[in-house]
Structure 1
Amino acid sequence: MHFSSTSLLPTAFTSLQGKKFCGLPACQSGSMLILHGERPYWWIKESDNKLPSLNQYRLTCETGPGSPSGHAMVTAAVLCTVVFAYIRLSKARWYKPWCCWICFALMMLAAGVSRCYIATHFPHQVVAGTLTGVAMAMIFLKVALKDVSLKTYILLVIFIPVSSVLTSAVIRMIGLDPDWSIAKAMKWCAESQWVHPDTQPYNAVQRDAGSLLGYGIFVSIARSSRSFQSGDSSNLFRLVHIILSLLIAQVIENIKPKVSTEMYYLITFLKFGLLVNIICLIPLLIGRRKINSDKNS
């Protein structure tokens, strides 16, 4: 999920100037808790069949349930949003949409094959994640989160972790263990250092909640500060914005202190809230500086 969060998301947002990208919430965590999907790298160890062993890699040992594929879901949602927005905004000729969708299909195929190759997902989980991501993009492109009040964002930020805790409680009440996948990852991963809190479902919940809060704060600032205006919309400006966003995303993502699990979740919440807020504010800050320089000249 890290590549989607720290590379695809900043690139998509900056290239589209946030016009169509603001409607992508993340919901894979709840579906993973409910659907209870196995992952190949531990399933093959527990299978009674005489199956060949699978190689494990540094990215193999994810701790959340495998269905649907969160990587495929987020990647499909982001890329599908980019394709829809490009087709609508560019007023392309009849053949360009087909080219865009072919590129989308090839990129999703590459992402899906890579997830299966490292024994993190089964093919049907990748397909389910891709279809869910496309459905998310089509639904939430019609929702303008930039028109939502900060109060609503705060309520959503509270609701997301609370609903996750309640879901876990319900799962325990019916006699199941919501953390079953973490135990299997710890047991069957070839290297213990490959098992990381970043991949736990509750960490994804904090990432989603922090991102929503960061975007909500940005929307509030953009509304209240009339002097803030978006910067130049030229391709050069967008390229600079993408480069800055990717650099900031990588710096923030590399902040991984060795602390308790609860503190790690809090740091994740703050990291992604700060990340989304900074990425959104970059064009506004540049635009304000440009306005001030024009006035002084």
Structure 2
Amino acid sequence: MESTLIAGIAMAEALQNRLPGLENMWLWVTFLGDPKNLFIFFFPAAYYASRRLGISVLWITFITEWLNLIFKWFLFGHRPFWWVHESGYSSQTPIQVHQFPSSCSPSGHCMVTGAALWPIMTAISSQVASRSHSPWVRAIPSLAYCTFLLAVGLSRVFLLAHFPHQVLAGLISGAALGWLMAPRVPMERELSFYGLTALALMLGASLTYWTLFTLGLDLSWSVNLAFKWCERPEWVRLDSRPFASLSRDSGAALGLGIALHSPCYAQIRRAHLGNGQKIACFMLAMGLLVILEWLGHPPQISLFYIFNFLKYTLWPCLVLALVPWVVHTFSAQEAPPVRSS
């Protein structure tokens, strides 16, 4: 194992020393691969392209992120968020062994993003295959998917967030989960199903956490190390704490059920939105997201968890129901009446 860790450090040093001046690019790549952005950007974009596709992306995202959290707990790890700002990364600082996370596996960026983007990749591949007989053209979506995930993985190593073997574990498990889950995503089940799913996610993770804690395992060790080693403690974000992703996942599960059973969704469920209306929906959703982000969050950790849960409960309701209903309603009002001959 020690040789694997030393090889990982050597790879990070090689990326930093042989590719100078690319810090901003790697930060941008790792930002695009952040599981949080699957909820915020990829989910609404996919939903306004295809209703089934959007629901699949959201479902796979919060289930896979929950599984990633549990895997890390059982493997004695959590998100290594303290070394980059992402947390104060500097290519001029020599890498020390203690700077690398020792067991944060698999990489959440690779695992969650790989799983959630799988249905998008397969949907695009299907569309391309129906329009082209060239095997090279048909391979473009798969190559783009693999290239993007590889870039995300390299960015995590470059930023000292993961060892290469942790990235590889995330890539393999993410693709496998995406392949397994995409055909089995539940569509428009009863509201109790989504409520019980949210409750199961919350209770399952809480029970796991407290069981391991009772056994003497400190699952919050990374938080203590963050405040100890980070040059500026304010860089340690609240949304990187252990239960932040859990509150996001359980909130999204409940919000998905509420959205699918809302009066607004019932009115626009069978409505056909044109391309212009879909673009308007996406822009309006992003505008509402800016407002939600502008509100900030409470500094107290317990209140933050509650706020995060409510925020991600509201988000599917806005994307699936309220925003399309508003756009469809106003578009219908603005349409000129059809004259009978």
TM over 0.5: yes
User: Aligned partners of 1:83, 1:73: CA distance in 2, in Å?
Assistant: 15
User: Aligned partners of 1:66, 1:247: CA distance in 2, in Å?
Assistant: 35
User: Aligned partners of 1:224, 1:5: CA distance in 2, in Å?
Assistant: 19
**2:261 alignment partner, SS class:** helix
Q: Which runs of 5+ in 1 are unaligned?
A: 43-50, 55-59
In 2 relative to 1, CA 155–250 (structure 1 residues): closer, same or farther, beyond 3 Å? same
The letter of the residue matching 1:206 is S
In 2 relative to 1, CA 75–144 (structure 1 residues): closer, same or farther, beyond 3 Å? closer
- For residue 155 of structure 1, report the CA deviation from its aligned partner: 0.9
Which residue of structure 1 aligns with residue 38 of structure 2?
A: 4
Out of 137-146 and 102-111, give the one that drifted further: 137-146
Which residue of structure 1 aligns with residue 308 of structure 2?
A: 268
User: Aligned partners of 1:248, 1:61: CA distance in 2, in Å?
Assistant: 37
In 2 relative to 1, CA 290–145 (structure 1 residues): closer, same or farther, beyond 3 Å? farther
User: Aligned partners of 2:204, 2:37: CA distance in 1, in Å?
Assistant: 26
- Within 5 Å, which residues of 2 pair with 1:152-231? 152-221=193-262, 225-226=266-267, 228-231=269-272
In 2 relative to 1, CA 233–76 (structure 1 residues): closer, same or farther, beyond 3 Å? farther
In the alignment, which of 97, 113, 119 is matched to residue 81 of structure 1?
119
In 2 relative to 1, CA 226–241 (structure 1 residues): closer, same or farther, beyond 3 Å? closer
In the alignment, which of 165, 174, 177 is matched to residue 133 of structure 1?
174
- For residue 280 of structure 1, report the CA deviation from its aligned partner: 1.3
In 2 relative to 1, CA 18–251 (structure 1 residues): closer, same or farther, beyond 3 Å? farther
Which residue of structure 2 aligns with residue 53 of structure 1?
A: 95
In 2 relative to 1, CA 273–139 (structure 1 residues): closer, same or farther, beyond 3 Å? same
User: Aligned partners of 1:119, 1:151: CA distance in 2, in Å?
Assistant: 42
User: Aligned partners of 2:310, 2:72: CA distance in 1, in Å?
Assistant: 23
**2:234 alignment partner, SS class:** helix
Length-normalised TM-score, structure 2: 0.72
**1:203 alignment partner, SS class:** helix
In the alignment, which of 253, 258, 261 is matched to residue 293 of structure 2?
253
Percent of pairs identical after alignment?
Answer: 23
Which residue of structure 2 aligns with residue 280 of structure 1?
A: 320
CA contact under 8 A between 1:222 and 1:228: conserved in structure 2? no
Q: Which has the higher contact order (CA 8 A, sep 6+)?
A: 1
Out of 240-249 and 129-138, give the one that drifted further: 240-249
In 2 relative to 1, CA 199–100 (structure 1 residues): closer, same or farther, beyond 3 Å? same
Length-normalised TM-score, structure 1: 0.82
User: Aligned partners of 1:29, 1:167: CA distance in 2, in Å?
Assistant: 10
CA contact under 8 A between 1:206 and 1:265: conserved in structure 2? yes
**2:239 alignment partner, SS class:** helix
Which residue of structure 2 aligns with residue 33 of structure 1?
A: 73
In 2 relative to 1, CA 175–273 (structure 1 residues): closer, same or farther, beyond 3 Å? same
CA contact under 8 A between 1:66 and 1:121: conserved in structure 2? yes
1:104 corresponds to 2:104: no
The letter of the residue matching 1:249 is L
In 2 relative to 1, CA 226–13 (structure 1 residues): closer, same or farther, beyond 3 Å? closer
Count of residues in correspondence between the two structures = 282
In 2 relative to 1, CA 34–142 (structure 1 residues): closer, same or farther, beyond 3 Å? same
- Within 5 Å, which residues of 2 pair with 1:115-134? 115-134=156-175
Q: Which runs of 5+ in 2 are unaligned?
A: 1-33, 84-92
User: Aligned partners of 2:162, 2:216: CA distance in 1, in Å?
Assistant: 26
**1:142 alignment partner, SS class:** helix
- For residue 254 of structure 1, report the CA deviation from its aligned partner: 4.2
User: Aligned partners of 1:255, 1:29: CA distance in 2, in Å?
Assistant: 27
User: Aligned partners of 1:68, 1:140: CA distance in 2, in Å?
Assistant: 18
The letter of the residue matching 1:32 is K
- CA RMSD, 1 decimal: 3.1
